[in-house]
């Protein structure tokens, strides 16, 4: 009996900790994306998946250099319920974005934020790259700005997919 009490307390503390984190995580905005494929996708459509929203620009060297890693992570995690939406900021010319996405055969949806409303909804994103990871309920788990630590991002995705 004595061994059960500490274990029960530990399990209860862990459950309360998980609930506390879940309650504190802010809900992502109800954003809608206009993709290069001509589709309209909303975050509500993606509920039930772990979603990475990648804000990038066609003139951002880091963004362009990181696209192969983004595609590799997508291919690795997509079968388990992971989605990426790459949102090109308003400063990116649509024809250049389309050409880049086609040449690189990007496997995930690429969206154009022509008027800046999506970037504004996510807290006025201006730094590229900015990545925002959402859990299956559409809550913001983590936000990264600048060069990506792919090991850390992959571990965070892995943890979110396991939840």
Q: Give dist(CA 153, CA 84) in Å, integer.
A: 13
108 in a domain, yes or no? yes
pLDDT tens digit sequence for 21-74: 445 578 978 899 999 999 999 999 999 999 999 999 999 999 999 999 999 999
- Retrieve residue 89's tokens: 């900021």
The mean pLDDT value for 86-93 works out to: 96
Say which CATH number the domain at 90 has.
3.40.30.10
Mean pLDDT along residues 61-90: 97
The mean per-residue pLDDT over the stretch 88-114 comes to 96
Phi, psi of 105 (to 5 degrees): 50, 55
In a domain, 13, yes or no: no
Predicted TM-score of the model (pTM): 0.83
Which band of pLDDT confidence, cut at 50, 70 and 90, is reported for residue 4?
A: low
Mean pLDDT of the chain: 89
4 assigned to some structural domain: no
The answer to whether residue 11 is domain-embedded is no
- Is a pLDDT exceeding 70 seen at residue 19? no
Domain limits for position 80: 27-162
**Is the separation of the CB atoms in 91 and 57 below 8 Å?**
yes
pLDDT given for residue 29 in this prediction: 82
The total domain count for the chain is 1
Confidence at residue 24, expressed as pLDDT on a 0 to 100 scale = 59
Beta-sheet strands, E only, within the chain: 32-35, 40-42, 50-56, 82-88, 110-112, 130-134, 140-145
Residue 129 domain flag: yes
Q: Is residue 136 a contact partner of residue 151, using CB atoms and an 8 Å limit?
A: no
| Residue 67 backbone phi and psi in degrees, to 5 | -60, -40
- Is 99 part of a structural domain of the chain? yes
- 32 phi and psi, to 5 degrees? -125, 135
Whether 16 maps to a domain, the answer reads no
């Amino acid at each position: 009996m004595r061994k059960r009490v500490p274990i029960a307390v530990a399990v209860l503390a862990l459950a309360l900790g998980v609930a506390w984190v879940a309650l504190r995580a802010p809900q992502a905005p109800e954003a809608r994306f206009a993709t290069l494929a001509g589709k309209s996708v909303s975050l509500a459509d993606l509920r039930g998946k772990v979603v990475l929203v990648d804000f990038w620009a066609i003139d951002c060297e880091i963004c362009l250099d990181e696209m192969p890693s983004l595609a590799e992570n997508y291919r690795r995690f997509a079968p388990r319920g992971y989605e990426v939406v790459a949102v090109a900021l308003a400063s990116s010319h649509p024809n250049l974005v389309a050409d880049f996405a086609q040449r690189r055969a990007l496997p995930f949806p690429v969206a154009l934020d022509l008027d800046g409303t999506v970037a504004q909804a996510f807290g006025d994103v201006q730094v590229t790259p900015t990545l925002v990871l959402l859990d299956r309920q559409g809550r913001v788990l983590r936000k990264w700005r600048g060069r990506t630590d792919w090991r850390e991002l992959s571990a965070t995705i892995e943890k979110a997919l396991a939840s």
